[in-house]
Amino acid sequence: MCVTAQRTALIVYGHQSSGSFNAAVLDVAVQELTEQGYRVIVSDLYAMNFRASATRDDIIGDLKNSELFQYGEETMHAWMQGRLSDDIVAEQRKVEEAELVIFQVRGYVFLFVFPMYWFSVPAIMKGWIDRVLTQGFAFSLEKIYDNGVFKDKKAMLSFTTGAIETMFRSDGINGDINVTLWPLQNGTLHFCGFEVLAPQIFWSPAHCPPTVRTTMLEGWRIRLKGLLEEKPLTFAPCELFDCSFQGGFMLWPKVREERELQPYGITTGHHLGKSVPPDNQTKAQPTNEK
């Protein structure tokens, strides 16, 4: 008899209020994914009193170098030896089990669910990233980007904004949302190898009438039904770069020459002095575009 393993989704949630729109977004995700047969795990960071600060307390036992405390180095060795604090280990196990990771906060989804604070995630969620995604567990020099540790897992940001959508356009007062998302989606998720799905952005729900908020939630529910069939966002593959210290991890000269006649750069971050590719961090691109 063949038994199919149950799929697992992890939602990292970062809002203080159970009556918030973010809480409603979380509820829809839990309900819909559960109906699809997922085992849904929620890390409610505020309810957990999750500690945001990355400190010596994250390591059990002696330090490798007690004279100069280097958090990244020490936590890597502690991870290898099974000496990380219990709260970090518990979250790392959740990441290992999950095929889909969603960050939800007022602001974005890893299925990270959260409100956007100061153009980024709240401090408590940044602390989750800093403490849980330790070197060794989530990345190494050899295992980054499309060769990353979590290359067989999907992740996404789901967030609310205080600003209306036009404020985050390239000609809006806040600037291009694609630029805002680049550090989180490329520098955190893609860096660790995740296939990054397009973000779910709820524009300024606090300033919308109830009917619009209801429509937002229904659109989210519909998207969740086909989420895993979506194409991920496009990032520059490692093969375009000379990934050695001698080469400085720079684009191969031939690649740069080939891009000279293109109207856009490769990605939001690798713009090569050209226009930023439209919607590079908000919509999946055709597979023939790099």
- The full set of domain ranges for the chain reads 8-232, 234-290
DSSP character at residue 165: G
| Beta strands at 250-251 and 241-242: parallel, antiparallel or unpaired | antiparallel
**What is the average pLDDT across 123-147?**
92
> In which band, very low, low, confident or very high, does the pLDDT at 270 lie, cut at 50, 70 and 90?
very high
**CA dist 17 → 103, 115, 211, 286 (Å):** 16, 11, 21, 39
What is the pLDDT, as a whole number, of residue 181? 94
Residues in contact with 176: Cβ distance below 8 Å, sequence separation at least 6, in sequence order: 168, 169, 170, 268, 276
Over the stretch 214-259, which tens digit does the pLDDT of each residue have? 999 999 999 999 988 899 999 999 999 998 888 888 999 999 999 8
The CATH classification of domain 8-232, taken from the options 2.40.40.20, 3.50.50.60, 1.10.30.50, 3.40.50.360:
3.40.50.360
Over the stretch 41-68, which tens digit does the pLDDT of each residue have? 999 999 999 999 999 999 999 998 888 9
DSSP character at residue 264: B
Using DSSP's 3-state secondary structure scheme, residue 128 falls into helix
pTM beyond 0.75: the answer is yes
Residue type, 240: L
| Of 163, 236, 143, residue with least CA distance to 205 | 163
For helices 210-225 and 21-35, the axis angle rounded to 10 degrees is 30
For residues 48, 49, 52, 53, the Cα torsion angle rounded to the nearest 10 degrees is: -130
What is the rounded CA–CA span in Å between residue 32 and residue 189? 23
Cα angle 16-186-172, degrees, rounded to a multiple of 5: 70
Contact assessment for residue 140 and residue 80, using Cβ atoms and an 8 Å cutoff: no
